[in-house]
Amino acid sequence: MASMVQLELQRLADKLRQLKQQAEHRDLQGDRSAYAKMAVLDERFSCRSDLFFDYVLELENDLSRIARLSDISQDVELIKLYCDRFIGKFAMLQSQMNKALALQQRQRAPQQQKVISWQNKLDKIIRSGDRSQLQEKLLQQKQFEQQLEYKIAEKSQRLNRSNPQTDTARLSAEILNLKSRLGECQKTTWKLEQKINQIK
């Protein structure tokens, strides 16, 4: 019976390691809504953080306590009760993380559609060779570039002032994403400039 308890604890520890990786990834996306999704909805969690990672740490502490209890107690029913409670908290955290991911994907979809639509319009204008339209789009592209450069500079300043490791990682990821967008923007600007030069 004791070996069955140890196997169950090992299985829970493995699942918790996977959840920990997911939580780190979620927090790096910059959502920062864990408190609203977890502590407010589930009073079993004593954590009051905006990071999902901190809720995983609470679960790690819970599992450690259950493991210590299994070492000193032969009461399998009691250990099973604590395991069931742990699984309930685990399932709640996993469910809320999945909902947060689904919401983020729904919110990103319209933005991605806008980018695709804008790129399609630009491609048509480049193919058409209409000089006045090309110049108008070139001006807009340069404005986009300036906005992205401003956002990168702003995030870089915040990164220099940030202390917590999670903030540093999140801001670094956001800056990389903005730099990638800026690179794509600059490529399009170059294409427009080349096309305008060909028309002259």
Q: What is the pTM of this model?
A: 0.57
The CA distance from 135 to 2, in Å, is 76
Could you report the per-residue pLDDT of 137-162, keeping only the tens digit for each? 888 888 888 898 888 888 888 877 76
pLDDT tens digits, residue range 82-135? Answer: 888 999 989 988 888 888 777 777 766 676 677 777 777 777 877 777 778 888
Assigned token pair, 145: 């570039």
How far apart (Å, rounded) are the C-alpha atoms in residues 190 and 196? 10
pLDDT of residue 100: 78
* 8 has pLDDT over 60: yes
To which residue do tokens 């169950």 refer?
A: 8
Tokens of 23: 């939580």
Mapping DSSP onto H, E and C, the string for 5-31 reads HHHHHHHHHHHHHHHHHHHHHHHHCCC
